[in-house]
Structure 1
Amino acid sequence: MKKTVIVLLHIGYWMMYSFLIFLFMMIVSKGKFATVDPLSMIPITILCYVPAFQGFYIFYGLLFKRYLHPQRIAWLFLTGMAATLASGLITVLLLLPFFGPYSHSLQVFMLMLAAAGLAAIHGILGLVLKGFISWYNDIKIKEELNRRNYETSMALIKAQINPHFLFNTINNIDVLMSKDAEKASVYLNKLSGIMRFMLYETNGELIPLSREMTYIDQYIELQRIRSSNATYVTYEVDGTPGNRMIAPMLFISYIENAFKHAEHKKAENAIQIRLQIEADRMVFVCRNLYSLTTPMKQEHNGLGNELLQKRLQLLYPGRHELNVSREEGVYQVNLILQDA
C-alpha cells in the first residue's frame, strides 16, 4: 500500500476520533461547548489524546511486528497490558498539575485505569489497522509474484519451441523453393506468422481464440510438408470461436510434443487433434501414436507440463480439467476449459 494512502488512513482515523470527542463534549455541555473555558479543556485533551496516541502507535508500530504470532500471543498480551498501564501512568503524571489539593488517591488510580483502558482500546484498533495494511500488502505481493511467475512461465514456454522444427522447416522450404517457389513462399509466410505470433502477440494474458487457432493451423501446415502422407495428421475444429478469448499457447506444447514423438509417419491418423468449442467450455484433445519398443520421453511431463499446470491454475482456477493418459502405444491429452 502506498505511503500516501497509509498517511490518509491515519489522518482519517484521528479525524473520526476527534469528531466523536466533539460530539461527546457537545452532549455533556448540552450544546454550550463554545462557552467552555479553554483552560479547562487542557486536562480533557490530555486524557483523550495522550493514552490514545501512545496505545495506538505502541501496538501499531512495535508490538505488531514483534509479538503478533501464534507462538507469541501470551507475550503480546503481557507486553500490551504493561504498555497500556504505563500509558495510563504517564497520562496521570501529566495531569498532576491539574489535580486539586483534595484529590483522593483512589480517584487518581481510577483515572489511571481509565487512561490505560483508553490506550488498550486504541491499541487494539491500531493492531486491526496494521493487520489490514499488512494483509493488503501481502495480496499485492502475491499478485506481483503471480504476474512475474506468469511472465517467466510464458518466456520459458516460448523458449521451448523445438529448434529442430525451425531448422527442418527452413530446410524443407529451401528444398521446396527449387521445385515450387510459389508454394515455398506460402510456407515461408506461415513460418513468419508463427514467429510473429510468438514474439509479439503472446504478451497479454488473453488473446482472441481465433488468433490462437490460426497459429495452430499454421504450425500443423508446416509440419505436413515433412511427410508425404496426407492423412498422417488430422486437425478438426467443432464450433466457431466468435469473440471468445483464451490464454496464449496453452495447446501448442502438447501439439509440438505429439509431432516430435509420433511414430508410424506412414500410418493414417498417427496424430489426431480436435478442438470442440461449446457454449460454456472448450474441449481440446491431442492424441498421437508412439512406438512401444522405443522409450518415449514426453517433454511436457517435465518442465513444460509443470509450467502449463501453473498457468492453468493461475488463469483458470477451478475452471479447468487436465487428463493425460498413455497406454498401448497411444498418448492422449484431454484439456477442458470452462468459461468464467
Structure 2
Amino acid sequence: MISILILILVIVILVLCIVIWRLWQSEKTKKGLLKNYSTLEMKVDGLKLDTLESRLNPHLFKNILNSIQSHAYQTYFALDKLANVLDYILYDSQQKWVTPKQEIEFALNLIEINKIKISPLFELTVKTKINENEKLYEEALLAPLLSIDLIENAFKHADLQSPDAFITVIFEFKDNCFMLTVSNKVSDKKAMKKDRSGLGTVTLEQRLKIIYKNQFKLDRLVEKNVYTAHLKINLLDYKTQMHTAR
C-alpha cells in the first residue's frame, strides 16, 4: 500500500515538474517571440523611414533643380533682352530715324533688364496704350534712344527702400503722337554721381529742340515726393513740317 502511495506521489511530482518546465519553456518562447517582434517592428519602421527618405531626397533635389532652373531662365531671359538692347543700340540707333514701334520695343527690353536689380515686391507698373492701326506707328520718324534717359533716371532716383516706393512707365501712341510718361517715388538719398550717366535730361531736351523744334513737349514736375516726366511728340505735324521744308 505504501509503495503504491509513493509511486503516485512520484508521478504527481513528475507531472508537476513537467508542467513547470513547459510553463518555463512557454514563457521563454513568449519572450523570444516578443523580442523577434520588436526587431521586426524596428526593421519595418526602418524600411518605412528609408522609403520616406528615398522619396524626400529626390523631392528636395527636384526643388533645388527647379530653383536653379528658375535662376538660369531668369539669366537667359535677361541676356536675351540685353541682346535685343545691344542690337538696337549698335544697329537701329545708328540710323537717323526709327519707328515708334522699334523705340517702344527697345524701351520695354531696357525695363526688363532693370527689373533684375529691384526686389520682386517692388511696385513696377508698365503700361502700353498703342493704336497700331495708325500709319505712323511703323513709319521711321522718331529719333532713336529718346526713351532711355527718362527710364534710367526713374530707376536711378527711385526710393527702392520705401514701402510705398514705385515706378510707373506708360507708353502711348495715338493720334499719331508718341507719348512717354514716367513716374517714381523720389528717394531722400542723393544719387551717386557718375562720370558717364547717359544723355542727361538737359541733353535730351536739347536734342528734342534741334530735331522737333516746336512739335514736342517735355514736362517735368515733383508733387508730394513723386517725380513725373511726360514726353509728347506730334509726329504727324513734324512729318508735315518736313515735307513743307523740302
Matched, 1:238 2:238: no
Find the aligned partners of 1:219 and 1:231 in 2 and give their Cα distance: 17
The structure that is helix-richer by fraction is 1
Structure 2 unmatched runs, 5+? 1-66, 238-246
Paired residue for 2:166? 270
Instruction: For residues 129-167 of structure 1, give each alpha carbon's deviation from its aligned partner in whole angstroms, at most 9, with x where no partner exists.
Output: xxxxxxxxxxxxxxxxxxxxxxxxxxxxxxxxxxxxxxx
Whether contact under 8 Å (1:232, 1:265) holds in the other structure is no
Q: State which structure, 1 or 2, has the greater radius of gyration over its C-alpha atoms.
A: 2
Quote the residue 1:321 is aligned against.
Answer: 217
**Superposed, which structure 2 residues align to 1:133-212 within 5 Å?**
180-212=71-103
Which letter does structure 1 place at the counterpart of 2:81?
A: K
Q: CA deviation at 1:278?
A: 1.1
1:276 aligned partner, one-letter code: E
The correspondence for 2:179, drawn from 283, 302, 306, is 283
Alpha-carbon offset, residue 333 of structure 1:
0.6
- 1:199-254 CA-to-partner distances (Å, cap 9, x unmatched) read 12101221121111111111111222223335521111112344243211111111
Aligned residue identity for 1:183: Q
Q: Output the CA distance in 1 between the equivalents of 2:118 and 2:212.
A: 36
Using a 3 Å threshold, how does the CA distance of structure 1 residues 222 and 266 change in structure 2: closer, same or farther? farther
Higher relative contact order (CA closer than 8 Å, sequence separation 6+): 2
1:286–1:334: 8 Å Cα contact kept in structure 2?
Answer: yes
Q: Which residue of 1 aligns with 2:111?
A: 220
Whether the 8 Å contact between 1:232 and 1:267 is mirrored in structure 2 is no
Match of 1:309 in 2: 205
Partner of 1:284, secondary structure, is strand
Question: Partners in 2 of 1:333 and 1:227 — Cα distance?
Answer: 21
Does the aligned pair in 1 maintain the 2:167–2:183 contact within 8 Å?
Answer: yes
Size of the aligned set, in residue pairs, is: 164
Q: Which structure dedicates a bigger proportion of its chain to strand? A: 2
SS in 2 for 1:264: coil
Aligned partner letter, 1:284: L
Give the aligned partner of residue 50 of structure 1: none
CA distance in 1, matches of 2:154, 2:170: 13
- State the distance in 1 between where 2:228 and 2:205 align: 16
The answer on whether the counterparts of 2:118 and 2:160 sit within 8 Å (CA) in structure 1 is no
- TM-score norm. by structure 2 comes to 0.58
% identical equivalent positions = 24
The alignment's TM-score, normalised by the length of structure 1, stands at: 0.43
Amino acid across the alignment from 1:335? L
Structure 2 CA distance for aligned equivalents of residues 243 and 195 of structure 1: 21
